[in-house]
Amino acid sequence: MKQVMLVTGGGRGIGAATALLASRRGYAVCINYRSNAATAEALRARIVAEGGEAIAVQADVGVEAEVLRLFAAVDAALGPVTALVNNVGVLEQQCRLVDMSVERLQRVFTTNIVSYFLCSREAVRRMSTRLGGQGGGIVNVGSGASRHGAGNVYVDYAASKGAIDVFTLGLSKEVGAEGIRVNCVRPGIIYTDIHASGGDPDRVDKLASTVPMQRGGQPEEIAETILWLLGPQSSYVSGALVDAGGAR
């Protein structure tokens, strides 16, 4: 069976590292992006240059119509998705709850929660053996913030990732008998540019000393964990929340 992976927010950071590694492991890959076409296209070109198969598709995965268009594009170009990596995520400027607007909350929760539900729904419709599919795997990219709450900086982001923990547990039970495994990896502080979005581009270096391993993580390390969760080596793992945060 052809292995087809969709990575949301796949043009940078953990998503890009996952797409590249997946291609090297034999997956045909769809790199989803919202706005940075140049970065996504460069990654697609790199995968193709290495002999892989990849497409880059623009879509805001917090919008149902765009999710439907995204999955239709993958169906047409690569075939039905067999592996979904819900990776897209957003955080906003550091602040306390008393200063958060409802517009900010809606942006964070739509991107970090609703998109995971919409994309997983479409993946299940294609993977479920009950619906004629051949099974597959879903990995949700959560965050260690769901354990410590990120008070005073990103409590909205942390809450959104807590929702993904629960979603992972519930969906894994819902589709476990239909050939679909659902797991979550919860990265710690990782060297990606998401920290700049929150106004703290040096956050990983600032917090490295609080990690028992005394360093931040690299996107490639999280990608390895994601590929393990999707591979045959973890065939009896579903509903797992896998912490990849250097024991922080």
Q: Which of 2, 1, 55, 57 shows the shortest CA–CA distance to 27?
A: 2
Alpha-carbon radius of gyration of the chain: 17
| Separation CA 203–CA 32 (nearest Å) | 26
| Separation CA 149–CA 63 (nearest Å) | 27
Yes or no: say if 94 and 153 are a contact pair by the CB < 8 Å rule. Answer: yes
Task: Please report which helix (H) or strand (E) contains residue 203, including its range.
Answer: helix 203-207
User: How many CA atoms lie less than 13 Å away from 21 in the CB half-sphere?
Assistant: 20
Given the residues 33, 116, 154, 157, select the one marked as catalytic: 157
Yes or no: say if 127 and 180 are a contact pair by the CB < 8 Å rule. Answer: yes
Active site residue 157: yes
What is the 8-class DSSP label of residue 77? H
| Separation CA 31–CA 5 (nearest Å) | 9
Yes or no: say if 147 and 186 are a contact pair by the CB < 8 Å rule. Answer: yes
| Separation CA 173–CA 118 (nearest Å) | 18
**Would you please indicate which residues are annotated as catalytic (active-site) residues?**
157
